[in-house]
Amino acid sequence: MENVASKIRIKSEIFKVIILYIIYFACLLWVYSSYFVITYGYQGFRDSLNLSNLPLSVSILSLLTFFAGTQKKPSVVFLHFSLLFIVTPSLTLFCGADVQSDFIFVTVSAHCLLSASTYIPIPKLKLPNISSQKMQTYLLLLSVLLIASMLLFGGSRYLNFDLTKVYDFRREAAANLPAIYAYLSPNLGQIIIPTGISIAILNKRWQAVFTLMVCAIFIFGLTSHKGPLFYPLLVILIYLFSQRQRFFTYLVLLLILIVLLSGVDLLLLQQASGENILSGWFSSLAMQRTIMVPAYLNWAYFDFFSDTNKYYYWSDSILSLGMLSSPYDLSIPYLIGYYYAGGSHANTGWIGSGYAQAGLIGVYLYSILMGLCFSYLNSMGKKIGNSLVISIFAIPALTMITSADLPTMLLTHGLLIALILVTILKKDNYRKALGTDRLSNCQ
């Protein structure tokens, strides 16, 4: 009887999540067509509403959500990241901007292959283990030392805590520091500090949490990159959500709220002729850059390289060891930025980046590799607890999905470091610290 009741509860939960996804998609399409294109149309977002694509879009979204499920383990959570930040916005462009159906096929097939690859079992690596207390201390000391070294190298010269002036300081701040910090600061902001915060929350070391959050603020101030300012909040939110039984319900509801608030922000912005309380900042940060831009850039990469059929084949990556010549004079992000994003640095996630490197082969190769990575994280979740693994990898997974080429992700954005950290983290008495590991036990 308990098994039957459990199965009924699981099916009830997944159907609730499917309904919420459809509501999320409807809200996104409504805000996009009614307000978003008015403000951001100059950036390439087209206003070409085609409701004939709506039935197919709803069917695709419902099926993908159903097969993703609500089993609370790392791979499933990150598949929902893909659905929330790539698939649903892409379907919004399919209906709201009438982008090619071929692009939707590439996006959906890549997501399906990513999902299938997570079922390939990857054994745990056997490496020396470190207790969570020691790792927390090491990460805290490393964070403080790296920030101190940045200050010693003159980082305070371009110290800026004003969100509205980040683009005025970013380039000068980067040029002012030794080149090695182009690799150290992203690893610190995306991996070291969030991992330290996750472990400190687990161990209830609130002073360490506070200190690491201050470190994150300094990373923002020293680099003028906004991400490190918000990453700790996202990690804490994901960690707290992961302790709830209806994790996916809360996650989709949060995105619905963000989209609706963005719509209100855009409406107020347009009615006030450019001036309101938020001045468009909320919709710019939350809906435009976080939700719509990754899908738009995936389309831009697909649109450009499907016309030229000249791929990079990793010629501008360290993987080629300089043995391949690039078919273009610009790197991929600047090339796409030149044609589709007003000359900006238009980096994107695994679908667009994979297509730029080797067409469909590149996309599917990246999908398989990411799926294997998520499968390995499932193994780590069984060892140290799913909640901890999900909170540590929330930022790397989201970055892989939305804004970084996979080889770049491994080195510059700290994926390799994060994998090593969860592998060497000792299995302490996590369930005692948490009371119960709800995320491990809920199916």
Q: How many residues does the chain have?
A: 443
Q: Under DSSP, is residue 130 helix (H, G, I), strand (E, B) or coil?
A: strand
Q: Any idea what the Cα angle at residue 74 is, between residues 72 and 80, rounded to 5°? A: 75
pTM comes to 0.91
- 346 and 296 Cβ atoms separated by less than 8 Å: no
Where do the structural domains in the chain lie, given as residue ranges? 1-119+244-426, 130-240
Contact 118, 375 (CB under 8 A): yes
Residue position matching structure tokens 């360290």: 318
- Distance CA(107)–CA(318), nearest Å, equals 26
Residue 131, both tokens:
């207790």
User: What separation in angstroms does the CA of 210 have from each of 217, 232, 329, 389?
Assistant: 11, 10, 45, 21
Look at the block and give the residue holding tokens 């993703």.
68
Q: What is the pLDDT along the chain (443 residues), one digit of tens a residue?
A: 455 555 555 668 899 999 999 999 999 999 999 999 999 999 999 999 999 999 999 999 999 999 999 988 999 999 999 999 999 999 999 999 999 999 999 999 999 999 999 999 998 888 888 998 999 999 999 999 999 999 998 888 888 888 778 888 888 888 888 888 888 888 999 999 999 999 999 888 999 999 999 999 999 999 988 888 889 999 998 888 887 778 999 999 999 999 999 999 998 888 876 555 556 788 988 999 999 999 999 999 999 999 887 999 998 887 777 778 888 989 999 999 999 988 888 999 999 999 999 999 999 999 999 999 999 999 999 989 999 999 999 999 999 999 999 998 988 888 999 999 999 998 765 544 444 454 444 44
Q: What is the CA radius of gyration of the chain?
A: 21
40 token code pair: 């951001």
